[in-house]
Structure formats: structure tokens, C-alpha cells
Copies of this chain bind each other. A is one copy, B any other.
Amino acid sequence: MFLDTLEASARRVNSCLCVGLDINWLEMSAYDTDSSSLLDFAKSLVQSTSQHACVFKFNHAFFAAQGLEEQLARIIAYVKESYPDTPVILDAKRGDIGNTAERYAEEAFIRYNADAVTVNPYLGWDSVEPFLRYRDKGVILLCRTSNEDSGWIQEAGKDHPVYLMVAERVHQEENPNLLLVVGATQLEALSQVRQIAPSTTLLVPGIGAQGGDLTAVLQRARRSDGLGVIINCSRSIIAHPDTDDYFFQVAESAAEYAQLMSIQ
């Protein structure tokens, strides 16, 4: 069960830090002086942050843009072999219908062997169901995102905005493996979602580079047991200025963020 693994992992590292490996290969290659391959570079990032991450999140787009899907599969396989207690999220924001949605679920859960995948709800609940059929896997639905124009559709409906409809439906499902994405820049939405879906675990991006306020997020999103939220940091951990001790800096940043997000 994804959520059990995730919560055990958060307790073990005493943090709700999700390390987002949004590796921009073009930028990163500047630091990649000692390692002979992209795979080694990614492995070093995983090693440098593994003590502090309760979960790793891989961003499909950064691999797909350059035809590096096979490398993505290998990196995930490496994490699952070397750090079997740390789950892996494939951040792919898939959304399609019928047999196409089935293929995307297959991509995330079989081809990449991810423990959870991000899914876009715009096409309706029947577009989410093919992912939910993998009952031990996590499905993380976009609810309220952190970007500037996110309210356009997500807040449509005024008194009964779309993002709260999504949160309500997820709450009704009573499936602990069904999570919601709520951006750190949306503090009011975080409070609302937490009220409507009190037990649902939230994945919160938007801390760091996007300017979200960590303390305010934790106050609104964290459940009384200290869990119920995982907070993603990507660029603020892995995009360091060009330094000789890059992986050391990455480890330091991950440690700092992890401590700020400690559970106990």
C-alpha cells in the first residue's frame, strides 16, 4: 500500500520532505564533470538526498523532452533496489479516457514501476478509475495548483469551485492511496481542502523557487498526527550554483529542508 510505505518512510526520516528530481539535463550537465553518465549523475542526487527524503518525485517531462525515458526507468529501478523503503512518485499529470487511460496507468505502474502517479481530473472520474484499479499504488489528483493562472478553471463555479468538488470526491472515496495536489501559494485553498478532506494526504509543491511559505503551509495542511502532507522541493535542492562540491551542497540543502519539515 502506497500510503503505508509513505507514512513509514516519513516517520523513519522524520520529515515530510519530497525530493523532486526535476533534472534539467541541459543545465545539470555543467556539474556533471566526474560522472560518466546521466544515470550516475541521477544516482548521486538520489544518494545525496536519500537520508532526508520520505519520497522521491521524478518529473517525466524533463526526461521525455530529450528522449531519456529509458534512463528514467533505470533511475527508478535503482531507487527501488537501493532504497526499497522510499517510495517513488512519477509526476506525469496524465489524463485520458478509456483504454488510453489504461495505457497511461500501465506506463506509470508497470513500465516505470512507480509507487504513485500524478493525474489530471479534467476528463472526469472515469478517467481516474483505470489508475485506481492498481489498488496498492498511489493516485495523486491535481486539485489546486501553485501557478498564477491556476484559478481559471480550478476556481470556476464560484460558491462551489471545481477544486473543492475534486477534494470532496476524493474524501468520499475513502481511499487512503488517493492524494491531492494543492500548491503552497494557495493558502486559502489549503485550509479549505483540509477542512473538506480532513484525512486525505496532500502533496504540496511551490515551496522555495515558487515562493510558498513553509510555516503557513504546515499550519494549514498538517494533520494532528504530524502527517497528512508531503512537501516537494525540487530546484531549491538540486539547482545549485556551479560549485565544485555540488553533491555536498545538495545534501546540505536536503538536510535543511528536511529539518524544517520534521514530523516530531
List A residues at the B interface (Cβ < 8 Å).
22, 24, 59, 61-62, 64-67, 69-70, 73, 93-101, 103-104, 106-107, 110-111, 120-127, 142, 145-154, 156-158, 160, 162, 165-166
Contact among B22, B24, B59, B157 for A156, CB-based, below 8 A: B157
Whether B151 contacts A104 by the Cβ 8 Å rule is no
Q: Which residues of B contact A96 (CB under 8 A)?
A: 61, 93
Pick 21 A–B contacts, CB within 8 A, sort by A: A59-B103, A61-B96, A62-B100, A64-B103, A65-B110, A93-B120, A95-B95, A95-B120, A97-B145, A120-B120, A122-B122, A123-B145, A123-B147, A124-B153, A125-B152, A126-B147, A127-B149, A153-B162, A153-B166, A156-B156, A162-B162
User: Of the candidates B64, B95, B101, B150, which one forms a contact with A104 in the assembled complex, judged by CB atoms under 8 Å apart?
Assistant: B64
Chain B residue nearest to A148 in the complex (CB): B126
* A interface majority secondary structure: helix
Q: Give the Cβ gap from A121 to chain B, nearest Cβ, in Å.
A: 6
The answer to whether A124 and B152 have CB atoms under 8 Å apart is: yes
Given contacts A65-B111, A104-B61, contact A121 B124 (CB under 8 A): no
Tell whether, in the assembled complex, residue A147 and residue B127 are in contact, meaning their CB atoms are under 8 Å apart. yes
Tell me which residues across on chain B come within 8 A of A166, comparing CB atoms: 153
CB within 8 Å for A124 and B100 given contacts A153-B153, A156-B157: no
**B126 engages A149 (CB within 8 Å):** yes
Chain B residues with Cβ under 8 A from A106's Cβ?
A: 65-66
Residue from the set A24, A59, A65, A127 with the largest chain B CB neighbour count within 10 Å? A65
- A165 — which chain B residues lie within 8 A by C-beta? 152-153, 156
Contact (Cβ within 8 A) A125 B149: yes
Q: How far is the CA of A217 from the CA of B157 in the complex (A)?
A: 28
Chain B proximity of A146: nearest CB distance (Å)? 7
Closest Cβ neighbor of A104 among chain B residues: B61
In the complex with contacts A66-B111, A107-B65, A153-B121 CB distance below 8 A: yes
Inter-chain pairs besides A152-B165, A157-B158, 18 sampled, C-beta below 8 Å: A22-B99, A22-B100, A24-B99, A61-B96, A61-B100, A61-B103, A61-B104, A64-B107, A64-B111, A65-B107, A93-B94, A120-B123, A122-B153, A123-B142, A124-B152, A126-B148, A156-B156, A157-B157
